Amino acid sequence: MDVRGRPLSLVATTALLVVVVLATGACKRLTFVRQDFSRQDYERVSPEVDVSGKGGNRNAAQALQHLQLAQVRLVGGDYETAEREARKALKLDPKSADAHSVLAATADRRGASAEAGTHYLRAAELAPANGAVLNNYGVWLCGQGRHAESLAWFDKALGDPRYGTPAVALANSGTCAIRAGQDARGERDLRRAISLDPGNATALGALAQLEFRRGNAFDARAFSERRLAAAPPDPAALQLASQIEEKLGDTAAAARYVQRMRAEFPQSRGSGMGDDGKR
């Protein structure tokens, strides 16, 4: 960014969710969604492997077996095995967008961003009509600071009529549009996202931030409260909530958010009450 949209899914101040969904489509799905607020807000869709058993040849069938195991290991957090199995699948089927999607996800999780980007792009080239795959490459671009460039990929993702989680791409698109300085587009896409998925934490958090930046503290509070109710908080969400309450003059509420952040995220330095986390 499913980023909820990931038949394997992974999430990244509102959380762009990357959903790594494998390109093969109509199949049994395994899904996991993880919010990674330390990396910004995106939704990635996780690889969704076709387990229908309908392979074209022996190599394809063997590749599918490796992909199935890779996906299970990825969901379980065994990234080393997931990567190894995905590479076996890719050796058997060099044009497997699914294998590249898994390799992108494993590279992402071990911090090899450039390598992940190479695999996200290759998956998108091999599956140019798959919304989840296109969303994931858009999320990677946005995470690299290439905000404006990412928007075209979210548009392509939304052009897939079979894409089952358009709210994910919309939330990602809106968040990245704002980062690109395109507030009008960003607000449009974020509101479209919550019209489809009222509990989309990525969109709600981004709208809270946008309204707060505009000086609309009451609107910001409404979106912030919805964001905190929609998904477990991260330090950024609690910090923003404290800032909003401070702006509205409710110092007691602001202090409660600070205390909550210190209790739940003791390593976090931001508090909304000062850059050093101290009042």
- The per-residue pLDDT for 40 is 46
Catalogue all structural domains in the chain, each as residue range(s) with its CATH number: 9-182 (1.25.40.10)
- The per-residue pLDDT for 60 is 86
- The per-residue pLDDT for 51 is 45
Burial of 57 (0-12, 13-18, 19+ CB in 10 A): exposed
Q: How far apart are CA 16 and CA 186, in angstroms?
A: 13
Q: How far apart are CA 271 and CA 273, in angstroms?
A: 5
- The per-residue pLDDT for 56 is 54
Q: Which residues in the chain show pLDDT less than 50?
A: 1-14, 21, 23-40, 50-55, 271-279
- The per-residue pLDDT for 204 is 98
pTM here is 0.80
Q: Write 186-194 long-range contacts (CB < 8 A, 24+).
A: 186/210, 189/154, 192/167, 193/167, 193/168, 194/167
